[in-house]
Amino acid sequence: MIVIQHQPKRVEVNVYGEFTLADYKEFEDMVNYKVKFEGPVDLYFDLREMADFTLDVAWEDIVFSRAHAKDFSRIAVLTLSQWVAWSAWLSQIFVRAEMRLFDDEAEARAWLDESI
């Protein structure tokens, strides 16, 4: 399950439990809308409560990242998992955004706020 919030030039995603393809499609729809009307956006992913993600989500992330290589400014990923950290770095190959991993929410938000 995901919870998506947005504000000017930013999309925030919190994942709880399993991250499914339906969840990812919801995220894609929000990003597509924001980019269409606001241009490049920052992303904030809180994955501390994510239990797992499906293989189709991993594939969709690669496809989506390649299609939106220039649509993100900064990406903050909040996680305590080395596996999630590794997969986030792998996704960075396809986007031109600056990406950082955090284990502290305040630091992640402060870093994103620097770009405003």
Q: Please give the average per-residue pLDDT across 66-87, as a whole number.
A: 82
State the DSSP H helix or E strand holding residue 90, giving kind and residue range, or none if neither: helix 82-91
Higher-confidence position of 90 and 102? 102
| CB 85, CB 77: distance < 8 Å | yes
Q: Is pLDDT larger for residue 37 or for residue 66?
A: 37
What burial letters (b/e) apply to 21-53, b meaning 16+ CB within 10 Å?
eebbeebbebbeebbeeeeebbbbbbbeebeeb
Global pTM reads 0.88
Would the CA dihedral through 109, 44, 3, 90 be positive or negative? negative
Domain ranges of the chain: 2-113
| 2-113: CATH, from 3.40.50.10600, 3.40.1710.10, 3.40.462.10, 3.40.640.10 | 3.40.50.10600
Residue 61 pLDDT: 84
Nearest Cα neighbor of 3 from 35, 27, 32, 28 is 27
